[in-house]
Amino acid sequence: MKMPSLRDVGTEAKLLLIGIPVFLWSVIPVYHMVLFAISPKDSAFQGHLFPEHPTTRNFMTVFKQQHHYLDHFWEQMLNSTIIAVSTGVLTLLVATFAAFAISRLKVKGGSTVMNLALFTYFIPAAFLAVPMYRTMGLYGLLNHQIALILAMVTLASPYAIWVFKQASDKLPVELDEAAYIDGASPLQLFRLVYVPLMLPSLVAVGIYALLLAWNEYLYAFLLLSKDSDVTLGVGLGNFLSADDSPWELLMATGLVYALPPAAIYYTFRKYMVSGLTAGATKG
């Protein structure tokens, strides 16, 4: 074995000099959340850096809905799930159809639609929130979960279409021609050739839309108002309505809320990174 040279040691030291702050920076707020979630109330508030008497009591309180902030915990969890899954599925349907029509069927006006979608993607979501809120009121959808689902599909589909179009443009044209010669209709081409080939992008975009909806706060709290209708994210925000909020319960609920999307993200990380950065690094 070769002794490391002075230069190697220097490089390692430099890497550590970046690595250690990066580690602390990334982990501290998350650690703080976990610390509060597993600490009994008194111990958490005394500023201990490590859990003295770790407990699952906070989680039990959350799951049994034993606090007035948590009266609708399970309902809100279900609401979040329904809204996220519906957004994911609807976005996939709308966006694959649109991208297929634009990229493979070369529908007339397709590039205009692509540009409009791209333009929508660039509008800051918070700017669209106020007029969207009013419009949903006019449509009579306000305080119905379908309003939030439609809003989230609106926000997610432009990027979805764009990613699909990028991926779809790379498939050889000959593929379509071959399918047509075999007597396939455009719909069969879509179902039997296009969708299977696009699977990695479909996974990435489906998860993107799902997480976007699960994590959304602004639209959820504007478009829904009843405690039994809102998502868990809005439920978390409601803890702030009083100064004496039970932080340990808020952090425990927050952790429960954060785990599913994090698990999904880490499971499909490979898809997420390749599928989404492929789109983003173009240009």
CA distance 30 to 38: 13
Residue 105 in the binding site for another protein (CB under 8 A): yes
The candidate with the shortest Cα–Cα distance to 77, out of 267, 253, 265, is: 253
Q: What are the two backbone dihedrals, phi and then psi, of residue 65, each rounded to the nearest 5 degrees?
A: 55, 45
Among 7, 108, 140, 242, binds another protein (CB under 8 A): 108
Cα 20 to Cα 30, 207, 256, 275: the distances in Å are 16, 31, 28, 30
Residue 212 C-beta: closest distance to another protein, Å: 10
The candidate with the shortest Cα–Cα distance to 157, out of 78, 102, 197, is: 102
Among 95, 205, 209, 223, binds another protein (CB under 8 A): 95
Among 4, 10, 27, 66, binds another protein (CB under 8 A): 27
Residue 124 in the binding site for another protein (CB under 8 A): yes
Residue 157 in the binding site for another protein (CB under 8 A): yes
Residue 25 in the binding site for another protein (CB under 8 A): yes
> Do the beta carbons of residue 88 and residue 213 sit within 8 Å?
yes
> Do the beta carbons of residue 39 and residue 53 sit within 8 Å?
yes
Task: Determine the size of the site formed for another protein (CB under 8 A).
Answer: 107
Span 242-281, contacts to another protein by CB under 8 A: 247, 250-251, 253-255, 257-258, 261-262, 265-266, 269, 273, 277, 280-281
Residue 185 in the binding site for another protein (CB under 8 A): yes
Residue 85 in the binding site for another protein (CB under 8 A): no
Residue 47 in the binding site for another protein (CB under 8 A): yes
Residue 83 in the binding site for another protein (CB under 8 A): no
Q: In the chain, what is the greatest distance between 2 CA atoms, to the nearest angstrom?
A: 75
